Amino acid sequence: MNNGTPAKKILILAANPKQTSRLRLDEEVRDIKEGLRLSQQRDKFILQQEWAVRPRDVRRAVLDFRPNIIHFSGHGAGTTGLSFEDEIGKEKLVTAEALAGLFGQFAKQVECVVLNACYSEEQALAIAQHIDYVIGMNAAIGDKAALEFAVGFYDALVAYDPRYDTYSRIEFAFNIACNAIQFAGVSGISIPIMKKKPHLGKVEEQPANPQEESRLSNDMSVRQKLSQEDVASIEAIISNQQSTSTNQNEPNSLDESPLSSNTATFSQNHKQSVAQTSAPANTLSNSTSVLRNKKSLIGAGIAAAVALTSYFVFNSQPSLKGTSTPTTSSFPQARDNSSYQKSCQNISIHGDELSATCPQSNGLYKQTSIRVLGIENHEGELRYYSNPRTASTYQLSCQNISIKGNELLANCPQSNGLYKQTSIHILGISNNEGNLSY
């Protein structure tokens, strides 16, 4: 039973024109259907497949079925398009622009497009301007790898549970699908790529649920109840850290840093809030709750002051040549070499995750990953955020993202529309018993 929630619709479009290499499309669809049939959530998904599809068949199928997920399985030809069939079964190429134009008309209902075809990255980029999630392939992918990816993707898609699983349903399924390739012992784990619609970078920064919004609202209410003495205590700690920095001849003063601006704003806002505060709560329970929350916020303010200490220590380290260094203690301390490179294998990047297979002290290897922190594109140059955020926005615009040594490389657009080859150091990642950590 689906408890009244509309079932998600999956439309599979398969094409293998004459005079193109034979693909195991029937096996792929069979295994996807089998995974859905065995799932405990099978009632929440409806699957429909169309074979030997022509361009007009795509339009008709989407109009009739109104799918939430569109899965194309077939051949890709890079910049020239995806291979569909014509009236007599021969190859008919459809461009990225045409596909994006069609799927963009259904952006309200289509959540994800999967292009399980070789060299389909360009089509994925074009479609992602309209659809939230688009998956493509940045190179030729073998039949076995394509099969394992597809089956792993839908196994995870239908089994996703937000109580236990990280990221969105699509991102979780993509990560599991990439791992399925490696788990099967075949090459190609770095070939699948996922492109997101640009607005998703902003969505990910919003509270995940109403309870979180309520918590944030309560926090703001508590902040307004801070006394002048509380603010003064926090300011005294910060002032002491600034004095310590001055004695150490710190090259960049606190007043010049983003942290100074944030701290000054924090302090000023609290002073204004105290001046506007209404009468205190008139019940013992309310007073107790406010006091408890107030103490928690004081602790948070002290923690922020301690973070400033880390900031000064961090800035005293020499920066890496050609990179912009993080400016808060939320980022790792830079090292000349990330030690994971010396031991881990199969290092690759998927979305905002750097994945690798790393050894433990018992000699066994473990599949592990770590988020690449706060990287953005600035006029074709990769750089770190001045403040940490939940997602790295360079993924929304840059292309050909890869890892070489301790460098993350990408082609990133400038405001003039031209792309630029750029790179940035991946700071201080180490292998800790098979787990990547900063």
> pLDDT tens, 179-192?
999 999 999 999 99
Residues 348 and 262 both lie in one domain:
no
Query: Could you tell me if residue 269 is inside a domain?
Result: yes
Residues 287 and 351 both lie in one domain:
no
Cβ atoms of 156 and 176 within 8 Å: the answer is yes
Domain count, the chain: 3
* Predicted pLDDT at 31: 95
Residue 32 pLDDT > 60, yes or no?
yes
Supply the mean pLDDT for the chain. 75
- CATH code for the domain of 364: 2.30.60.10
Structure tokens at 162: 């937000």
Q: Which domain holds residue 432?
A: 339-437
Structure tokens at 279: 């009468």
Query: Could you tell me if residue 322 is inside a domain?
Result: no
Instruction: Give the residue from 145, 176, 197 where a domain finishes.
Output: 197
Residues 287 and 156 both lie in one domain:
no
Query: Could you tell me if residue 180 is inside a domain?
Result: yes
Residues 131 and 216 both lie in one domain:
no
Residues 79 and 217 both lie in one domain:
no
- Residues in Cβ contact with 210 at an 8 Å cutoff, skipping those fewer than 6 apart: none
Cβ atoms of 421 and 411 within 8 Å: the answer is yes
Nearest C-alpha neighbor of 93 from the set 107, 112, 74: 74
Mean pLDDT lowest for which of 282-286, 298-302, 353-357? Answer: 282-286
Residues 171 and 272 both lie in one domain:
no
Tell me the β-bridge partners of 89.
Answer: none
Average of pLDDT values for 192-206? 67
Residues 298 and 418 both lie in one domain:
no
Query: Could you tell me if residue 327 is inside a domain?
Result: no
Residues 160 and 38 both lie in one domain:
yes
Which run of H or E residues covers position 284? helix 284-315
Residue 340 pLDDT > 90, yes or no?
no
> pLDDT tens, 141-154?
999 999 999 999 99
Residue 212 pLDDT > 80, yes or no?
no
Cα separation values, 339 from 198, 255, 346, 429, 438, Å: 33, 35, 15, 6, 10
Residues 361 and 309 both lie in one domain:
no
Average of pLDDT values for 334-347? 66
* Predicted pLDDT at 153: 98
Distance, CA of 116 to CA of 131 (rounded, Å):
16
> Whole-prediction pTM value?
0.49
Query: In a 3-state reduction of DSSP, which class is residue 173?
Result: helix
